Amino acid sequence: MLKQDDITPTSIIVRDTNFKPPRTLSSWLIGHPLSTADAPHQTIGKAIGLAVFASDALSSTAYATQEILVILAVAGTMSFGIVFPISIAIVLLLGIVTISYEQTIHAYPDGGGAYIVARDNLGEFPALIAGAALLTDYVLTVSVSIASGVAQITSAFPFLYDFRVVLSVGFILFVMIMNLRGVKESGTAFAIPTYFFVVMMFIAVGTGFFRLFITGSLGTVVEPPEMEMLGEISKITPFLILHAFASGTTALTGVEAISNGITAFKEPRSKNAGITLIWMALILGTLFLGISYLAKEIHVIPSESETVISQLARTVFAERGTLYLMLIGATTVILIMAANTAFADFPRLSALVAKDGFLPRQLTYRGSRLVFSSGIVTLAAIASIILVIFKASVTRLIPLYAIGVFMSFTLSQGGMALRWYKIGKLKPGEEKSERGSTLRPVRGWPIKMVINGFGAVCTAVVMMVFAVTKFNDGAYVVLILIPTLVAVFWWIHHHYKGLAGKLSLDKVGTMPPHHARHRVIMPVSGVHQGTLVALRYARILSDDVTAVHVVIEPFESEKVRKKWETYGEGVRMVMLNSPYRLLLEPLLAYIRDIAQQRQPGEIMTIVVPEFVSNSRLTAPLHMNTAELLRGQLKRYPGVVIIDVPYHVQE
Coil, helix or strand for 551? strand
Percent of the chain surpassing pLDDT 70: 93
Predicted local confidence at residue 641, as pLDDT: 86
Predicted local confidence at residue 415, as pLDDT: 93
Average pLDDT, rounded, for the chain: 85
Work out the pLDDT band at 4, boundaries 50, 70, 90: low
Largest CA distance in the chain: 98
Condensed to tens digits (0 to 9), the pLDDT of residues 22-54 reads 777 777 777 777 777 776 667 888 988 888 888
Work out the pLDDT band at 196, boundaries 50, 70, 90: very high
Asked which of 255-259, 346-350, 485-489 is least confident by mean pLDDT, the reply is 255-259
Question: Region 316-339: what's the mean pLDDT?
Answer: 85
pTM of the predicted protein model? 0.79
> Which H or E run contains 14?
strand 12-16
CA distance 94 to 278: 11
Q: What share of the chain is helix, strand, coil (3-state, %, to 5)?
A: 65, 10, 25
Specify the amino acid at residue 484: T
Work out the pLDDT band at 515, boundaries 50, 70, 90: very low
The helices-and-strands tally (H runs, E runs) of the chain is: 23, 8
Predicted local confidence at residue 414, as pLDDT: 93
Query: Which of 270, 248, 272 has its CA nearest to residue 49?
Result: 272
318 CB-near residues (< 8 Å, 6+ apart): none
Predicted local confidence at residue 208, as pLDDT: 94
DSSP 8-class letter at 400: G
Q: Do 458 and 548 fall within a single domain?
A: no
Coil, helix or strand for 101? helix
Asked which of 2-11, 93-102, 292-301 is least confident by mean pLDDT, the reply is 2-11
Residue that finishes a domain, picked among 435, 460, 494:
494
Question: Region 394-417: what's the mean pLDDT?
Answer: 82
Q: Are 502 and 532 in contact (CB under 8 A)?
A: no
Q: Which residues pair with 120 in a beta bridge?
A: none
The 3-state secondary structure of 598-647, one letter per residue: CCCCCCEEEEEEEEEECCCCCHHHCCCHHHHHHHHHCCCCCEEEEEEEEE
Q: Do 376 and 260 fall within a single domain?
A: yes
Q: Do 247 and 106 fall within a single domain?
A: yes
CA distance 621 to 196: 43
Work out the pLDDT band at 567, boundaries 50, 70, 90: very high
Residues in the chain: 650
Condensed to tens digits (0 to 9), the pLDDT of residues 422-458 reads 999 998 888 888 887 888 898 889 999 999 999 899 8
Condensed to tens digits (0 to 9), the pLDDT of residues 367-381 reads 877 788 899 999 999
Q: Are 390 and 397 in contact (CB under 8 A)?
A: yes
CA distance 398 to 408: 17
Instruction: Catalogue the long-range contacts made by 94-98 (C-beta closer than 8 Å, 24 or more residues apart).
Output: 94/251, 94/252, 94/255, 94/281, 94/284, 94/285, 95/281, 95/285, 96/454, 96/455, 96/458, 97/252, 97/255, 97/409, 97/413, 97/455, 97/458, 97/459, 98/255, 98/277, 98/278, 98/281
CA distance 351 to 374: 9
In angstroms and rounded to an integer, the radius of gyration of the C-alpha atoms of the chain is 28
Q: Do 444 and 529 fall within a single domain?
A: no
Predicted local confidence at residue 583, as pLDDT: 83
CA angle 580, 582, 587 (to 5 degrees): 125
DSSP 8-class letter at 318: T
The answer to whether position 499 is within a domain reads: no
Q: Do 490 and 609 fall within a single domain?
A: no
CA distance 81 to 72: 9
Q: Do 134 and 70 fall within a single domain?
A: yes
The answer to whether position 443 is within a domain reads: yes
Condensed to tens digits (0 to 9), the pLDDT of residues 539-550 reads 988 888 999 999
Asked which of 233-242, 302-311, 506-515, 527-536 is least confident by mean pLDDT, the reply is 506-515
The answer to whether position 536 is within a domain reads: yes
The answer to whether position 211 is within a domain reads: yes
Predicted local confidence at residue 516, as pLDDT: 43
Residue that finishes a domain, picked among 460, 494, 528:
494
Q: Do 448 and 531 fall within a single domain?
A: no
Instruction: Catalogue the long-range contacts made by 371-376 (C-beta closer than 8 Å, 24 or more residues apart).
Output: 371/179, 371/180, 371/182, 371/183, 371/347, 372/347, 372/348, 373/180, 373/347, 374/347, 375/346, 375/347, 375/348, 375/350, 375/351, 376/176, 376/179, 376/180, 376/343, 376/346, 376/347
Dihedral of alpha carbons 256, 259, 260, 262, sign: positive
The answer to whether position 36 is within a domain reads: no
Q: Residue 574: pLDDT above 60?
A: yes
Name which residue leads in pLDDT, 534 or 51: 534
CA angle 174, 277, 133 (to 5 degrees): 65
Strand order in the sheet with 12-16: 12-16, 572-577, 544-551, 519-523, 604-613, 639-648
Report the half-sphere exposure of 461 (CA within 13 A, side-chain side).
9
Condensed to tens digits (0 to 9), the pLDDT of residues 127-156 reads 999 999 989 888 988 888 888 788 878 877
Query: Which of 34, 33, 11 has its CA nearest to residue 23?
Result: 33
What Å distances lie between residue 310 and 68, 157, 184, 332, 601, CA to CA? Answer: 16, 11, 32, 11, 78
The answer to whether position 34 is within a domain reads: no
Q: Are 142 and 59 in contact (CB under 8 A)?
A: no
CA distance 335 to 346: 17
Q: Are 571 and 539 in contact (CB under 8 A)?
A: yes
The answer to whether position 38 is within a domain reads: no
Q: Which residues pair with 645 in a beta bridge?
A: 610
Domain of residue 331, residue span: 43-494
CA distance 482 to 130: 9
Question: Region 209-227: what's the mean pLDDT?
Answer: 87
Percent of the chain surpassing pLDDT 90: 32
Q: State the CATH number of the domain containing residue 604.
A: 3.40.50
Q: Do 214 and 239 fall within a single domain?
A: yes
Predicted local confidence at residue 514, as pLDDT: 44
Predicted local confidence at residue 56, as pLDDT: 81
Q: State the CATH number of the domain containing residue 57.
A: 1.20.1740.10
Coil, helix or strand for 306? coil
> Which H or E run contains 572?
strand 572-577
Predicted local confidence at residue 210, as pLDDT: 94
> Which H or E run contains 546?
strand 544-551
Q: Do 471 and 551 fall within a single domain?
A: no
- How many structural domains compose the chain? 2
Q: Do 489 and 576 fall within a single domain?
A: no
Predicted local confidence at residue 229, as pLDDT: 60
Query: Which of 591, 584, 138, 554 has its CA nearest to residue 386?
Result: 138
Q: Do 302 and 358 fall within a single domain?
A: yes
Q: Are 474 and 230 in contact (CB under 8 A)?
A: no
Q: Do 298 and 377 fall within a single domain?
A: yes
What Å distances lie between residue 592 and 99, 282, 441, 584, 589, CA to CA? Answer: 58, 59, 57, 12, 5
Residue that finishes a domain, picked among 440, 463, 494:
494
Supply φ then ψ for residue 17, to 5 degrees. Answer: -110, 140
Question: Region 599-608: what's the mean pLDDT?
Answer: 84
Asked which of 294-298, 380-384, 528-532, 579-583 is least confident by mean pLDDT, the reply is 579-583
